[in-house]
Structure 1
Amino acid sequence: MAGSKQEVAVAAARGGSTASKPKASAKVAIPQLEWNQVRPAPVILVSGTETFLAERAIRQLRDLLKAEDPSLEVADIDAASYAPGELLSIASPSLFAEPRLIRIAAVEKCSDALIEDAIAYLGYPADDTYVVLRHGGGVRGKKLLEAVRAASGVAIEIVCTELKRDSDKHEFASAEFRAAGKRVSPGAVRALVSAFSDDLAELSAACAQLASDSADEITEVTVQRYYAGRVETNAFAVADSALAGNYGESLGLLRHALASGADPVPIVAAFAMKLRTMAKVLGTRGGSGQLAGQLGMAPWQIDRARRDLSGWTGEGLGRSIQVLAETDESVKGAGRDPVFALERMISIVSARGTL
């Protein structure tokens, strides 16, 4: 029966997961702040994989300290080539007692000497001295990170994690315009994020350019005028529109993508990723953080799949996964008209599997 096939399709897409739950992280005794909440402290750990946000946070800290005292001295240390005693030497009081900012880069590549000296420094931080430890991720330096995170009253942590969700990138872009005192339409923000979703630095630069060049409200038309070559349709834009039930829009996006030279295979792959993730999440209970280890997914992926599942049924999802498999075969050579196969898949997915 068709119903049983659809149940099999959903079950196959879900697959089995033997992933264990993530271990609880060590207790953190210091404040953990976002990149735009940076403030002075004797020791500031700037952690996370998002280099652009980390660099901006460190730059904002420097500007803040400079504004408080223009005589601020800035010193840089490379953690990978650190020499024993270097931190203590730079942090020692000077003749004129100027405040100091010591920036230690690439702590994820640090020498054993830095680990020892920095842990010792936590017990006796120098007056009017601010030490920034930039750790970009990985296990190297774990002992130092644990010591910093336990140094209550001495250290703070600025967490700069990668902005993966579209909503986070939208908020980032909107905040850039607010900081510049400019009004921006939601459509303009969506267009910018679509054009520069892979590079936060480029997204920030684009926001800055539009803010400086535009006197009135920044709209989607403004973005198109400046970045027409970058505002392109991608496979996930087609899939997102179809999953939301927007048949006309998704069909238009598909035809624009194909006219721009997009290959049908990655478009099908984008649908496959979305539908299989939805199948894994369908019917689950509990918070996304709790389910992440069980399903082998990031919490934000679970949250996104749950939003995508709005209006869907298990039967409709199973039907769509069946059509997806047929379309995959067609675009890879089994069918005579891959474009027709894509359009058929979009019509069924847009109807949430009810056609």
Structure 2
Amino acid sequence: MSPAPGKHKTGHSQNSVSWTEAHPARVVLVVGPENYLGTRAFDLIRRKVREQRPETETIHLNASNYAAGQLEMHASPSLFGDAKLIEVVQLEQMNDDFLTDALQYASEPAPDVVLVLRHGGGNRGKKLLDAVQQSGAPVIDCQPLKKDSDKAAFVASEFRASRRRIDPDAVRALVSAVGSQLSDLAAACQQLSLDIEGSITAESVEKYYGGRVEATAFKVADAALAGRGGQALSMARHALATGVDPVPLVAALAMKVRTVGKVIQASGSSAQLAKDLGMAPWQVEQARRDGRSWTPEAVIRSIKVLAEADAQVKGAGRDPVYAVERAITVISLANRS
């Protein structure tokens, strides 16, 4: 197994590494709310461990329902001296027993064990996170890729990894068509790599994903909540005209409005609210930004119009498009209350 790694000078700490460079070490910390990147990092470490030691035993633990002594028991050498990979998830909800045992283990990790820790964000277990980072263990930061430029870089890296060429115009077209979720984007990259011979062009993307629209439901919702009614209506009309069902548009609007309603009058840190509300800290922060110009009355008014729209797009009304547009208009005007 790899010893404790050398330090890197990139990222948020000196020992940060990209998920694409994830490698086995005695302790590896995978932190951040982007679950897809976290899963990819785990998969890469698992594959490299098995390449080095095919007989490695894999053990899965959950830090939220952890029982005292489990980590030490699983990390202890077996009679046959087999290597072990211990994967622990939900550190953001870790109980006190896990915190105590993990702090002790991190100070002197076992030589034939790779321990991979997954923390989804927040301040729970900060003492452990600090200890792991200070030990020099690799830290893989998995933050959501919100900018199209970051998603384009992700697409380019996916094609480099598969040793395929994609034109810059095709990268932009793919992000526009499929870029709402990283998992969808990665699946699209894989499909194009398998199905298209030679360079992937914008025409290739159009052939496979031309029916997808750049204006996703959540982009429409973001524009409406920000008070950009004209932009939201334009994107919604384009989406509906290209075959997008109005139901997910209303659902995205409703989810955004409900989230704003939960946080606009709530006090406390984003981490504490995230824990109380069952959300990720970044979602709380986004909702607080969305709700800066909102009042409780505006939230109530918007929820009412969304309830009406939901019923109409599911069959209670004759004109679902009008219902969606009315909801967008009310929400974008509510922002100015």
Q: What range describes the TM-score normalised by the shorter chain of this pair?
A: 0.5 to 0.7
Contact 2:22 2:41 in 1 (8 A): yes
1:52/1:112 Cα in 2 relative to 1: closer, same or farther (>3 Å)?
same
Aligned with residue 205 of structure 2, among 209, 212, 223: 223
Deviation of 1:159 after TM superposition, in Å, equals: 1.0
1:188 is aligned, of 166, 170, 176, to 170
| Residue in structure 2 matched with residue 98 of structure 1 by the alignment | 82
Q: Which runs of 5+ in 2 are unaligned?
A: 1-11, 221-233, 250-284, 287-327, 331-337
Q: Scaled by the length of structure 2, what TM-score is found?
A: 0.62
Return the offset for 1:68: 0.8
Identify unmatched segments of 5+ residues in structure 1. Answer: 1-27, 238-251, 267-296, 299-330, 334-355
Letter of the 1:205 counterpart? A
Which position in structure 2 is the counterpart of 1:122?
106
Aligned residue in 2 for 1:208: 190
- In the other structure, the counterpart of 2:181 is 199
Flag the 1:219–1:90 CA change in 2: closer, same or farther, 3 A: same
1:91 positional shift: 0.1
Deviations 1:221-245 (A, max 9, x none): 11121122224456979xxxxxxxx
| Cα 1:181/1:261, change in 2 over 3 Å | closer
Q: Take 2:121 and 2:37, find their aligned partners in 1: how far apart are those partners?
A: 14
TM-score, normalised to structure 1, is 0.59
Q: Which amino acid is 1:99 matched to? A: A
Which one of the candidate residues 144, 163, 170 is aligned to 1:162? 144
Structure 1 51/257 Cα, relative in aligned 2: closer, same or farther at 3 Å?
closer
Q: Which one has more relative contact order, counting CA pairs under 8 Å at least 6 apart?
A: 1
- Greater gyration radius: 1
- Give the Cα separation in 1 of the matches to 2:102 and 2:236: 55
SS of the aligned residue for 1:173 comes to helix
Aligned residues: 230
Shift of 1:193: 0.8
Alignment of 1:107-118 (within 5 A): 107-118=91-102
- The Cα of 1:254 is off from its aligned counterpart by 10
**Is this contact kept in 1: 2:180–2:216, CA < 8 A?**
no
Counterpart in 2 of 1:63?
A: 47
> How far 1:253 moved relative to its partner?
8.8
How far is the alpha carbon of 1:261 from its aligned partner? Answer: 7.7
C-alpha deviation, 1:260, in angstroms: 3.8
